[in-house]
Every structure is written in C-alpha cells, then in structure tokens.
C-alpha cells in the first residue's frame, strides 16, 4: 500500500524523513508531477500521532521550496500504478492548482463576535424580537463581508466556510504570497483595532491545505 502526503511540481531534496509508522518518505515522479509517499505492508493506523506525523512531513516538504498541494490525512493507494492513474486522471487540475499556490502560504482566520443573543435581549414582543434578530443577522453578514473583502485584497485566493454561525462570524482561509504576509498581518491588526468588540483568531502561515482540490471538484 502506498500512502500520499503531498503533490509537488518538482522533485525536492529531502533529508531522511520519517513518515507514518516511521516509514521512509520518498518522492516519485507521476505524470510530470512529483508525489511524496511512503510504502506500507498494511493500512497505517490513523491515530493522533499519524495526524502530527503527516503534518510534519507536509511542513518539511513545503519548506523545501517547490509548489505543494498537501494531501488530506488518509489518502492511500493499492500500489504505485493506482496512484499514477489517479494523478493522470486529474493532471490538468492539479497543475493549475500548483501554479496558483506557488510562492504562497495559507493564513487562517476565525472571527468571533460577542454573544448574539445579548443584542436582541432588550426587545419586547415576538414581532419586535424577530425584527431585531433579522437586523442583527443582516448586520453580521455585512460585517463578515467587509472583513473578508478587506483581507481578500492582500490574497491571491480565499475560501470561506459557510458554517459560520453563533459566535463564529467568519471562518476563512487566505492564500497569501510569502512577501505579502506582513502586510496581511498589519491589515488584521488594523481590523482588530477598528472592531474592538470582535476576536480575530489568526493562524499561520500554513501549507496551502485549503487550496488543494478535493474530490468533489472533479468533473
């Protein structure tokens, strides 16, 4: 069985790097791209240790300089031929994604607002309460959009998860060129200062996990 860590645009020189269950990580050519893999006799156990090991391998690969698409945890193939076939089937899409993430890091942002219920508390009567809730929802939407727009101008690409709700106003990831990370961080601090009621939880730089194509995007 062959386990996948990442897809790269070119071979990278790797120091000996332990993968899942201490298997050696190596890079191989697949349809003009490079895959970082390890070989296993049986299905590797996906424990908490595996999560960290997978992340460490992806991190080391991303430091090696090539454009990288990290794999999700748990992507494996019966043999190398099956992996080559899977890469070949989506070669164009993967190449385009590699081109987009080249020279960029991912920055994550979650924005939390004060407790939503608090703001509607003063309202009396069902109708007024509902109108207050509606105004509040519209206000939250506009606020999230304004924050997202301000940060998007510093990014090559961005994603926004739709599940934002409750205290979570915005859950987004930004693909930021390495040279622009400082400017992005300054923009975050600026937004923090102009919205002291919000908590902006900013993390990164990460390898571009959120900008790697998932299976659902396949034609």
Partner 1 sequence: MTPEEQPGLAHEVALLELVDRVLNKGVVLTGDITLSVAGVDLVYVGLRVLLASVSTLEQLQDGDGAPRQLESAGRR
Binding site for partner 1 (CB under 8 A): 1, 4, 6-7, 43-48, 51-52, 54-56, 58-59, 69-78, 82-83, 85-87, 89-90, 94, 108, 110, 112, 166-168, 185, 188-189, 192-193, 199, 201-206, 209-210, 212-215, 218
- DSSP reduced 3-state for 54: helix
Could you tell me the smallest distance in angstroms from the CB atom of residue 61 to partner 1?
Answer: 12
Could you tell me the smallest distance in angstroms from the CB atom of residue 125 to partner 1?
Answer: 31
Sign of CA dihedral 70, 71, 74, 77: negative
37: number of Cβ within 10 Å: 25
Pick 49 or 149: Cβ nearer partner 1:
49
Pick 41 or 48: Cβ nearer partner 1:
48
Query: Partners of 175 in the beta sheet?
Result: 106, 157
Q: Which residues, other chains included, contact 53 with Cβ-Cβ below 8 Å and sequence gap of 6+?
A: 18, 19, 20
Pick 76 or 144: Cβ nearer partner 1:
76
Pick 70 or 148: Cβ nearer partner 1:
70
Q: Tell me whether the omega of the peptide bond preceding residue 205 falls within 30 degrees of 0, making it cis.
A: yes
Pick 148 or 169: Cβ nearer partner 1:
169
Q: Which residues of 126-146 are buried (b: 16+ CB within 10 A; e: fewer)?
A: eeeeeebeeebeeebeebbee
């Amino acid at each position: 069985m062959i386990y996948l860590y990442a897809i790269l645009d070119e071979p990278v020189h790797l120091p000996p790097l332990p993968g899942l269950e201490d298997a050696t990580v190596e890079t191989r050519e697949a349809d003009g791209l490079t895959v970082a893999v390890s070989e296993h006799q049986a299905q590797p156990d996906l424990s908490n240790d595996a999560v960290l090991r997978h992340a460490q391998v992806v991190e080391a690969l991303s430091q090696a300089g090539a454009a990288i698409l990290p794999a999700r945890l748990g992507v494996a193939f019966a043999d190398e031929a099956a992996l080559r076939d899977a890469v070949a089937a989506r070669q164009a899409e993967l190449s385009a994604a590699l081109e987009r993430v080249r020279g960029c890091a991912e920055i994550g942002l979650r924005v939390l607002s004060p407790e939503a219920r608090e703001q509607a508390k003063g309202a009396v009567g069902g109708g007024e309460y509902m109108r207050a809730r509606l105004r509040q929802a519209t206000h939250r939407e506009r606020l999230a959009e304004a924050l997202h727009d301000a940060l998007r101008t510093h990014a090559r690409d961005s994603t926004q998860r739709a599940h934002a709700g409750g205290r979570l106003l915005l859950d987004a990831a930004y693909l930021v060129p390495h040279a622009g990370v400082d400017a992005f961080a300054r923009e975050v601090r600026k937004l923090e200062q102009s919205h002291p009621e919000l908590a902006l939880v900013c993390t990164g730089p990460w390898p571009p996990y959120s900008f790697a194509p998932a299976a659902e995007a396949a034609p």
